[in-house]
């Protein structure tokens, strides 16, 4: 998407400045910063909430999947449909997706999208 490097999985999802931008947004959203690993598997492994309960940490990994999927969809839009690269859009869609999943897969979800948007950690805490 940046048109500067070979489009490998590692570049597209971790190293590229568009990807960096999205992971930045995500960190700012939860207010936690992690070491960013260059390897995709370790990136996935270390994408957790160390200060929270394990179950919350695992649920949180769903956000990783959401971000990755949205990034890939967006990339396809850019490559095949003349889309314009927009990191903020990718992240917002991933946030929305994450909320929809929680809403439908967990019975006890009582929080609204705006709760999720403003304090995701507290929302995750209510799940178990």
Binding site for another protein (CB under 8 A): 6-13, 40-41, 44-45, 58-59, 61-62, 64-66, 68-69, 72, 79, 97, 101, 105-106
DSSP string computed for 31-71 = T---PPPSSHHHHHHH-S-TTS-HHHHHHHHHHHHHHHHHH
The least CB distance from residue 72 to another protein, in Å, is 6
The least CB distance from residue 77 to another protein, in Å, is 14
Task: Choose between 13 and 23: whose C-beta lies nearer to another protein.
Answer: 13
Cα–Cα nearest to 22, from 111, 118, 86, 117? 86
The least CB distance from residue 80 to another protein, in Å, is 9
Burial of 22 (0-12, 13-18, 19+ CB in 10 A): buried
Side-chain half-sphere CA neighbours of 82 within 13 A: 0
The radius of gyration of the chain from alpha carbons, rounded to an integer in Å, stands at 15
Task: Choose between 18 and 68: whose C-beta lies nearer to another protein.
Answer: 68
Task: Choose between 20 and 45: whose C-beta lies nearer to another protein.
Answer: 45
Task: Choose between 64 and 116: whose C-beta lies nearer to another protein.
Answer: 64
The least CB distance from residue 23 to another protein, in Å, is 14
């Amino acid at each position: 998407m940046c048109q500067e490097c070979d489009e490998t999985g590692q570049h597209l999802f971790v190293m590229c400045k568009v990807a960096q931008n999205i992971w930045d947004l995500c960190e700012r959203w939860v207010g936690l910063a992690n070491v960013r690993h260059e390897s995709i598997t370790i990136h996935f492994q270390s994408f957790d909430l160390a200060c929270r309960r394990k179950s919350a940490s695992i649920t949180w990994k769903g956000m990783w999947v959401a971000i990755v999927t949205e990034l890939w969809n967006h990339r396809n839009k850019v490559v095949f449909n003349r889309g314009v690269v927009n990191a903020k859009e990718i992240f917002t869609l991933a946030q929305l997706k994450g909320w929809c999943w929680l809403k439908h897969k967990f019975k006890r979800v009582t929080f609204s999208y705006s709760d999720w948007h403003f304090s995701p950690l507290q929302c995750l805490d209510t799940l178990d």
